Structure 1
Amino acid sequence: MPVATASTQVAATSTPGTGVSDASRPGGNPTARDTIDWKPCPQDTSADCGTLRLPVDWARPSGERFDLAVARRRATDPDRRVGVLLVNPGGPGASGVDFAVADAPAYFSTGVQERFDIIGFDPRGIGRSRPVVCSGELLDRRPSSYPRDQAAFDQLASFNRALQDDCRQHSGPIADHADTLAVVRDMEAIRRALGEERINYFGHSYGTLIGEQYAEQYGDRIRSMALTANIDHSIGLRDFLVSSATAAEDSFHEFVKWCESNPSCALHGRDVTAVWDGLLNRADRGEITDPENPGRLLDAHTITLSAFQTFYGPNRSGLASYVAALDAQRPARQQRTRPARPETSPGASPETPPETSPAERQRTKAEPFHAVFCQDWRFRPKDYQEFARLTEAELRAAPHMRGAPRVHDAVAGCVGRPDEVNNPQHRLRITEAPRILMLHSRHDPANHFSWASDVHRQTRGTTVLLPYEGAGHSVYGRSACTRGAVDAYLTELSIPSAGSGCPPAG
């Protein structure tokens, strides 16, 4: 059930539109629909941008509304147009508008661009869609996500509650209604506003959760759906942390194997694992400085998080050079400033949008991740002992990566928040959707391959899983095999044969 909102929330001036209330009820048939006010996008006039006014709380469709930002790139061959392709690049926190306007022309093949109007949108609470913003001063005081005792755990819980209240005060009630199930209802409203009987959808990483839950609620409104780097929304807290840590550790070992066999690796010929472990130990002793800011020390968590981010590519050459440079440092003589802290929100957070005032931009920062994540997952460690046991399980699963650096921070951000969530975990139940194509890297650093296989088992009659046997988080453009499989499916509804897969790219 939705979380109650504070009396200090920012009020929005809006006039309820017509025909969107039925989108809160799966299977509803509205008699009228809102429209999107398309205009050339300011950043690229070859694309169209607009907004769609929707309820903040779908349980109260006549209540306060917000403007959902939407972008469109029209099919480049109108005579062969199939329909619309809604896209979400993940996060939570990434901008679908930016993806459609700036990235889609290079990301998707010519064949996809010829046949589909590509539609991106900023999910509620993100980017230009009433972003969740919070006090920058408060965010700078975020405590460690690795509490060492009950008192530190209590401090973390108190901070998270204070941050939730602060974000609500600066953002309004959208901060309590940024969950994926609400985004699914927004996406159905987009379909109706576009006048399309059925949509096509491409979702990556966290965008797969949007696709999965849309297929649950509105399966008969789908023509095709391709999902890459899949999320399993049925998983419990311990499995979520341990499987995430296992994925990160697997990518580390893949990096070590690459260095051992590739002379171009800056660590080739050395014991890479020993160099890495020694580097983290030196960081624990305060001996490693930030190359970009020598006055700051790097802690081990910052280094592992930097490595983890390179696994997304993977950019193994860059990681090897980074590790070699840090390892070559002389011990720092003294700590002139506190250790550099990583961005603790696992998703990419866009900057505060330009429509906010300069004064507001100076004192607030876009911080949508936990507003989404903590309403999608009932992850609430109750005390220090429980959290310490979970952390120990992470470390056992990933001794060299020291757990799951990003996911640990994600869970820590939910400590102390209310137990009730808008969109709790459950096994996926899809009954009316057509065949859905899933792709997943065997060595994905963030989303363990078991997540995809478990989703496939839950929906075996509906989904087809195509493994990519290589590494990295992105899958679609990895090879001719992965791109060709998605393109043939989206354009011709051609499904890969059971048991097939794509080999690693060279």
Structure 2
Amino acid sequence: MDWNDPGGRTIDLAVARLKATDPAARIGSLLLHPGGPGSSGVGYALSLNNFSPELKRRFDIVGFDPRGVEGSGRIACSTQLMSQFPDPLIKSQAEFDAWLDYGKRLRADCRARTGPVFDHVDSVSAARDIDAIRQALGEEKVTYYGLSYGTLVGQMYAELFPHRIRALALDSNLDHSLSTGPYLYSWATFAQDSFDEFVKWCGRETRCALHGTNVRAFWARLLERADRGEIRAPGAPARSLTRQDVIRYAFRAGYVPTWFELAELLVALDAGAQEPPASAAWLLGETTNSRQAPAAAELEVSNPLQIFCEDFRWPIRDYREYTKHLRRAKAIAPDMGIVPTSLTLTALCLGEPDPIPNPQHRLRVKGGPPLLIVNGLHDPATGYAWARNAAAQIGKKARLLTYEGWGHGAYGRGDCVTAAVDAYLISLRLPARGTRCPAVPVAPPDAADRPA
């Protein structure tokens, strides 16, 4: 449980393995981490569409639930307390103080329900878990694919165990060197870039529901109407949407991207449609709006965001300092501001007791084989600048592969990226320095080859 006390208490990790489809051609095990924080590596490994047939032919695909997630001692919290989640957009010193109090009560509740592993769910601990899994599999060295938050765990593994790496592919990277302000400002930059790309796409795509419209003016009016409580929730007209709710839809749409659906949804919201467009089901199907109460029948719910609070320290002293960050972000991202996800994480981690297990620092990777860093140029969540910074910190051992398109997660977006990652994982062959893979056009909702 605590890697600083290896003779102490232990925890169980949930692990799933899909054996290589061609045992004679098998290279070894490919460990994967799908990110989050909070995504299940077991579920990801068992999803048959996540990797190319060649990778599945040559490797046992091994996924694990990181500690604090699902089958690996999930962080459990009171349903009732989680349903009291305050608005993450803090508007006064009183609300700032209320968040500090709520965070303290929530941490105490979750720790009591989860057990002492609650204080050991950081990415350094997860990296040490990977090495334990490596040993259990009988592998001399690790072959690893980390996506999104899984890149941070992979980076920590490279710091701790550089000479136990066979291949390490990091897709859609975090930059763990950034302090509070630069982190929040870069997130605002990425969200704004994604929205800018949506506007440009809609200007040239005649099938966009907002084609021929001044999209920025339309967007500004929609947000102003949301501020006045005039925008109703699709399928639930009794509930009005906030500005942050509407921004959340646009931010989420950048992940695939689902821009056809976003345009149709925004038109429907503006028109006051009673029912949402059928195409917008994915955008509406999952929300990070934690103010919505979980199902009352559940006494406990998962809350894996504590992982983030043990990896990133936010020493924001008061509301005055908080609003300074918000103003700066709004100047950087006039259409998006600080996106709801970062607001939630910022508020939730306020008051986290110091010291945290894995505070921000520049990467210190010494020795080991070359590493592959992969990133989209217009990723809304883990922007290209983070990958570039991470590669620079690793130094000559890092090879940066650029996908010139949109969305979160580059692997699987066209033959160029997929072939380059496969070649590295299978044959340890790196793409040439400066390799850039062309963007794959944004697919309409009914396209069979649409990225998952």
**Same fold, TM exceeding 0.5?**
yes
What residue is the counterpart of 1:461 in the other structure? 396
Q: Which amino acid aligns with 1:450?
A: A
1:74 to 3, 13, 19: 19
What residue is the counterpart of 2:415 in the other structure? 480
Q: Tell me, what secondary structure is at the counterpart of 1:226? A: strand
What residue is the counterpart of 2:304 in the other structure? 368
Shift of 1:233: 0.6
Identify if the C-alpha distance between structure 1 residues 330 and 491 changes in structure 2 by more than 3 Å, giving closer, same or farther: closer
Shift of 1:342: 5.0
2:232 to 274, 277, 289: 289
- For residues 19-46 of structure 1, the C-alpha deviation after alignment (integer angstroms, 9 at most, x for no partner) is xxxxxxxxxxxxxxxxxxxxxxxxxxxx
8 Å contact from structure 1 (residues 231, 452) kept in 2: yes
Structure 2, unpaired ranges of 5+? 275-285, 442-452
Q: Which amino acid aligns with 1:120?
A: G
Q: Tell me, what secondary structure is at the counterpart of 2:12? A: strand
Distance, in Å, in 2 between the alignment partners of 1:344 and 1:268 is 29
2:428 to 454, 472, 493: 493
Instruction: Tell which deviates more after alignment, 441-450 or 400-409.
Output: 400-409
| Higher RCO (C-alpha under 8 Å, 6+ residues apart) | 2
Distance, in Å, in 1 between the alignment partners of 2:64 and 2:366 is 26
1:130 to 55, 73, 88: 73
What residue is the counterpart of 1:504 in the other structure? 439
8 Å contact from structure 1 (residues 380, 419) kept in 2: no
Q: Tell me how many residue pairs correspond in the alignment.
A: 428
Shift of 1:344: 4.6
Query: Is structure 2 residue 329 aligned with structure 1 residue 394?
Result: yes
Q: Which amino acid aligns with 1:81?
A: R
Structure 1, unpaired ranges of 5+? 1-55, 332-340, 346-350, 353-358
Q: Tell me, what secondary structure is at the counterpart of 2:31? A: strand
Larger radius of gyration: 1
1:107 to 43, 50, 53: 50
Alignment of structure 1 residues 221-300 onto 2, 5 Å: 221-300=164-243
Distance, in Å, in 2 between the alignment partners of 1:499 and 1:71 is 36
Query: Is structure 2 residue 32 aligned with structure 1 residue 97?
Result: no
Shift of 1:309: 0.7
Distance, in Å, in 2 between the alignment partners of 1:107 and 1:193 is 24
Identify if the C-alpha distance between structure 1 residues 330 and 306 changes in structure 2 by more than 3 Å, giving closer, same or farther: closer
- For residues 123-170 of structure 1, the C-alpha deviation after alignment (integer angstroms, 9 at most, x for no partner) is 000011110010111111111222222111100111001100010011
Q: Percent identity?
A: 44
What residue is the counterpart of 1:449 in the other structure? 384
Write out the 4+ residue segments of structure 1 that deviate beyond 4 Å after TM superposition.
none
- TM-score, length basis structure 1: 0.82
Q: Tell me, what secondary structure is at the counterpart of 1:117? A: strand
What residue is the counterpart of 1:413 in the other structure? 348
Q: Which amino acid aligns with 2:328?
A: A
Shift of 1:402: 2.5
Query: Is structure 2 residue 29 aligned with structure 1 residue 84?
Result: yes
What residue is the counterpart of 2:450 in the other structure? none
Q: Tell me, what secondary structure is at the counterpart of 1:67? A: coil
Taking only aligned residues, the RMSD between alpha carbons, in angstroms, comes to 1.8
Identify if the C-alpha distance between structure 1 residues 434 and 263 changes in structure 2 by more than 3 Å, giving closer, same or farther: same
8 Å contact from structure 2 (residues 44, 50) kept in 1: no
Identify if the C-alpha distance between structure 1 residues 164 and 344 changes in structure 2 by more than 3 Å, giving closer, same or farther: farther
2:139 to 174, 193, 196: 196
Q: Which amino acid aligns with 1:483?
A: T
